[in-house]
């Protein structure tokens, strides 16, 4: 059964609504006193959000770069990457207690930038032609498929076969592959530009996040 389009976005929205409902219940229970970042709920949201963001950055990258790993389709890992990349920052936002000063403020700002950048990257990445397992196609693979279609058409012509539907299907597939080959270089260039922005911002974000965690542990634990 085919999954609905953009299902990972809907799952992230449903999860955010569930957590948001719990947040509102806690607000009502405490007389609308915003849960502090250092409290139980704030800590839980911060830890969960940070772990999800780490998973966003590490797991999908490992699957994409590993030539020997075959655990799961790339399309499934991309959906997981998007899901955790949306839910994690939302949990971190709840952890902030809506205070954006100092190091925490810069971390929150970079988190918002990385989420927006992720949406842009998703649009560019999904424009790249893909194989049946969700892996990005290379120009050589597209050219091989074009050669196969040309060979099939030539064999049909040699055998004197005239099946209108089959010929139309081959022509349609061939035109699609030609379009993919023409747009592949442009999409790859855009993706490279996006990476040159997204990766440094992500590194800076996690550097500040680790500094925030260390500072929180120091002030909350070692000074008591």
Say which residues have a Cβ less than 8 Å from residue 107's Cβ, sequence separation at least 6: 92, 205, 208, 209, 212
Give mean pLDDT, residues 57-80.
Answer: 73
Question: Percent of the chain, pLDDT > 70?
Answer: 64
Q: What angle do CA 68, 70, 75 make, to 5 degrees?
A: 125
Contact 184, 25 (CB under 8 A): no
Each residue of 137-156: pLDDT tens digit? 555 555 566 666 666 666 66
pLDDT at 5 over 90: no
pLDDT at 56 over 50: yes
Q: Is the pTM here over 0.85, yes or no?
A: no
């Amino acid at each position: 059964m085919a999954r609905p389009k953009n299902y990972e976005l809907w799952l992230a929205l449903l999860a955010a609504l569930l957590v948001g409902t719990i947040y509102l219940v806690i607000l009502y229970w405490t007389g609308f006193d915003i849960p502090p970042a250092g409290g139980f709920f704030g800590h839980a949201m911060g830890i969960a959000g940070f772990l999800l963001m780490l998973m966003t950055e590490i797991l999908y990258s490992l699957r994409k770069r590993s030539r020997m790993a075959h655990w799961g389709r790339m399309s499934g890992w991309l959906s997981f990457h998007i899901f955790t990349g949306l839910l994690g920052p939302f949990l971190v936002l709840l952890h902030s207690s809506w205070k954006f000063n100092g190091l925490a403020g810069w971390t929150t700002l970079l988190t918002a930038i990385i989420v927006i950048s992720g949406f842009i990257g998703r649009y560019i990445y999904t424009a790249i032609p893909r194989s049946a397992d969700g892996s990005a196609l290379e120009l050589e693979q597209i050219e091989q498929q074009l050669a196969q279609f040309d060979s099939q058409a030539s064999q049909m012509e040699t055998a004197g076969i005239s099946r209108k539907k089959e010929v139309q299907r081959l022509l349609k597939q061939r035109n699609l592959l030609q379009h993919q080959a023409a747009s592949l270089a442009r999409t790859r260039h855009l993706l490279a530009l996006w990476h040159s922005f997204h990766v440094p911002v992500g590194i800076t974000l996690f550097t500040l996040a680790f500094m925030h965690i260390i500072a929180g542990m120091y002030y909350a634990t070692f000074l008591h």
